[in-house]
Amino acid sequence: MEPTRDYPLFGGAFSATLPPGAIDVSDLRPVPDNQEVFCHRVTDQSLILELLELQAHVQGEEAARYHFEDVGGVQEARVVQVEAVQPLLLENLALRGCCQEAWILSGKQQVAKENQQVAKYVTLYQALLRLPQYQTDFLLTFNQPPPENRSSLGPENLSLPPWSLGDFEQLVTSLTLHDPNIFGPQ
Exposure of 131 in the CB half-sphere (CA atoms within 13 A): 24
Sheet of 4-9, strand order:
4-9, 14-18, 176-177
pLDDT at residue number 115: 66
pLDDT at residue number 149: 44
Residue 76 pLDDT more than 80? no
SS3 state of residue 114:
coil
pLDDT tier, 158 (very low <50, low <70, confident <90, very high otherwise): low
pLDDT tens digit sequence for 14-24? 999 999 999 99
pLDDT at residue number 91: 96
d(CA 58, CA 107): 19
pLDDT tier, 71 (very low <50, low <70, confident <90, very high otherwise): confident
pLDDT tens digit sequence for 98-150? 999 999 999 988 887 766 677 788 899 999 999 999 999 999 999 998 765 44
Lowest mean pLDDT among 64-73, 109-118, 170-179: 109-118
pLDDT at residue number 109: 84
| Eight-class DSSP state of 152 | P
Domains of the chain (ranges, CATH numbers)? 26-148+163-179 (3.40.1000.10)
Residues 163-167 have a mean pLDDT of 95
The mean predicted confidence, pLDDT, of the chain is 89
Higher-pLDDT residue of 173 and 42 is 173
pLDDT at residue number 185: 79
For 67-162, list the strands marked E by DSSP: 79-87, 101-111, 120-131, 136-144
pLDDT tier, 75 (very low <50, low <70, confident <90, very high otherwise): confident
Residue 172 pLDDT more than 60? yes
User: Please, what's the largest Cα pairwise distance for the chain?
Assistant: 52
Task: Please give the backbone phi and psi of residue 169, each rounded to the nearest 5 degrees, phi first.
Answer: -60, -35
Q: Spell out the residues 6+ positions from residue 121 whose beta carbon is closer than 8 angstroms to its own.
A: 79, 108, 109, 110, 146
